[in-house]
Structure 1
Amino acid sequence: MPRYDFAGRVSVVTGGASGIGAAIAERLRADGATVVVWDLPQAVRDLPPALACAVDVTDRASLAAATQATLARHGRMDHLVHSAGYAGPTVPLDDYDPAEWQRIVDVNLVGSFNVCRAVVPAMRRADAGRIVAIASLAGKEGTPNATAYSAAKAGVIALVKALGKELAATGVRVNAIAPAAVRTALLAQMAPAHVQTMVDKSPMGRLGEPQEVAELAAWLCSDACSFSTGAVFDLSGGRATY
């Protein structure tokens, strides 16, 4: 596997206590980064206080406090990998509880705006940084019985494209990863038949692994990623068609 020199770099990973976020945090640490996990209070309670902040991505005040604390402790934020998300139930659109629909959009789409809004000013001042958002192939294709999640992740993709253009003349690069189904606890929120349908659509006939997402995220955080911004990188085992 390739290795990058992240010594002296500070990486913020939202949702970094579990799943894809934890795999990305581990990968960045392996290359020397100081990783600060931003996650829900119960998820970070056993982590060192200097390397974790309790946040709810739907709560802008908690994100502002986490940004301030991270900068006060470490002096910089070089990478933001936004992995926090919520899939919600898999049901037909007309069976959705409107409150649940709103929660899915708030966590995935509005949360992405909130996190970027908190972090981008520090990266602008430094004229350097990497933002990597974990989107989803659902946001490109639309997944039946996951309309809220599909719509929210489509919004994340559009947000990344727009923000990448906004910051293109700076040293900040903004990109997204659009995985197909990845083997994490998030799949437990979905009906088994729904998960099997996603596997069946894969030309490779399998789920992705969190470490495979982490490898792509590491490159997107590196200085080697210099001419890609506002881009969406598929990670789908051959399933993506555009």
Structure 2
Amino acid sequence: MSEPPDISTSDPFLQAKLEALAEFAAGAGHEINNPVATIVGRAELLLKGETNPERRQALLTIGAQALRIRDMIGDLMLFARPPKPELQSLNLVEVADGVLRKLDETLRAKSLSVVRQVQSVVPIVADPVQLRIVISNLLLNSVNASAVGGSISVSCSSLEADSRRSAVFTVKDRGVGLSAVERKHLFDPFFSGRQAGRGLGFGLCKCWRIVEQHGGQIDCDSSEDDGTTFRVTWPAAD
């Protein structure tokens, strides 16, 4: 029997905690979004009649920062209340390969190699946009954790347990691993481990929400000597 993962979104305590955070995020996001929209609108209105270069630059900065807040609120709302998935029958390997191609420049910027392993994978039913968000965020998390010139392992496989078939996407880095504090707050939307070279924050909490909506789960194993592994188990198509 395999060892249980360090962290799993199937843990009832973690599920309850994330649901409570999602409810808070939904309310906070709505309350913040309204004044931000007002700031953006006023800045654009003032900009139309402003000729002074310094004041124009100040208004452009105000507008840009307000839009940045709006984008962050969008991430928050995707965690709190994501849109209903538009389900399609998908090939996990094809979707993962497409995301890897889009991240090619990011990988080359750190001279990272990708070790790709593919076994026979059952078809899944998923929203293609949301599935790409999950795979992209997990890959970027591994990129951020990896040293220049390192490698990332990516695999797609099938799993059958308790008469239930699933497709499994796994990404493993060989970075410094997660600290005890990072493990505790791994899926929290308001926590970032960037000080340690690993971007957490909104990315992983969005992954949790999307995978949870599709009936799957995310497991994580991490050690200081052997990096971090994320494993997404996605229900197979009937």
TM-score range, shorter chain: under 0.3
Normalised by the length of structure 2, the TM-score is 0.23
* Greater Rg over alpha carbons, structure: 2
